Amino acid sequence: MTDRGISISEDELVFKFSRGGGPGGQNVNKVNTRVTVLFDAANSRSFSDEQKKLILKALANRADKNSVIRVVSQRHRTQKANRNAAVERLEELLTGALKKKKVRKKTKVPQAARRKRLEIKKRRGLLKKQRAEKSFEF
């Protein structure tokens, strides 16, 4: 698979097929259209050690204790379409994991925003105070 700067050989991916839900009618009960793609990130030859760490950190919830990343697809009616969808999803996940995150720059709250917030608080306080002051004249 090659796209978006990621190149993984097909022999690094393990495909498992099973009966899945989703569209297909009675075909769902007979044909193994659900596809699970397993990718051993820790032992991959396609990525450097630093990239492997980034991938495993970002995709920790998808990886098992052996660092195998699992992607499942059962959206389509055919095994081939599900296989392509699962590989495409794996590509997206790996690309996202390797993307550099922008560092957030700390900024001060503008003076006008502070003033506005305090003014709103004062108005709200006055409103509550007016409600509390009940004068009963007979």
* pTM for the structure as a whole: 0.66
| Cα–Cα distance measured from residue 89 to residue 44, given in angstroms and rounded to the nearest whole number | 18
Q: Which residues contact 135 (CB under 8 A, 6 or more apart)?
A: none
List of domains in the chain = 2-98 (3.30.160.20)
Read off φ and ψ for residue 67, nearest 5 degrees: 65, 35
Neighbours of 12 (CB within 10 A): 16
For β-strands 68-73 and 34-40, DSSP reports them as: antiparallel
Q: Which residues contact 31 (CB under 8 A, 6 or more apart)?
A: 19, 24, 79
pLDDT along the chain (138 residues), means of 10: 65 85 70 88 86 88 88 88 91 88 92 97 94 72
pLDDT for 38 equals 92
For β-strands 68-73 and 13-18, DSSP reports them as: unpaired
From 36, 37, 34, 44, select the one nearest 12 (Cα to Cα): 44
pLDDT for 37 equals 92
H or E element in which residue 126 lies? helix 111-132
pLDDT for 2 equals 47
Token match 């790996």: residue?
Answer: 94
pLDDT for 3 equals 47
Backbone Cα Rg of the chain? 28
pLDDT for 135 equals 65
